[in-house]
Amino acid sequence: MTIEQINHMNESDAHELFMNCCTAVKWVNAMVESRPFSNFEEMIKVSNQHFSNLEESDWLEAFDGHPKIGDVNSLKEKYKSTKKLASGEQSGMSEADEKVIYEMADLNQSYQEKNGFIFIVCATGKSASEMLEIIKSRIDNDRGTELKIASEEQMKITKIRLEKLS
């Protein structure tokens, strides 16, 4: 896809395109309204600027667009419309042994109960063991700290998805 194609999409198609990158409606609307972009680098810069204007409710909306790491059923359901852009994001879990998968599932559940949102990490390029160590290192953080970390991870994920558009 070219930047020109993105710039000339009708609003509905552009909304759907950006929603596949991040499900925070405030961010999506801002991206649609910010067109035209001169190039992909500008689009990513603008994306980061819009992220800085998001509030907790927007982040939670974005997090809700992700499946729990390692939850195969959740992956299939939530990523069915974003398969192309999200492909490979959790590929490290596909090679995990059962012990890692079950431990990850338990920690994911504890994390969500504690914080009120799922564990968010930019999983691209990370093995299941690496993701397990990351959740272990973050599980005792307070909710405010985790919201900040998760929002930074969400920005990384969105950047990768925007880059896949080119």
Active site amino acids:
66
How far CA 129 is from CA of 12, 103, 155, in Å, comes to: 40, 10, 23
What angle do the packed helices 25-34 and 11-19 form, to 10 degrees? 130
> By the 8 A CB rule, do 132 and 124 touch?
no
Other CB atoms within 10 A of residue 163 CB: 14
Other CB atoms within 10 A of residue 133 CB: 12
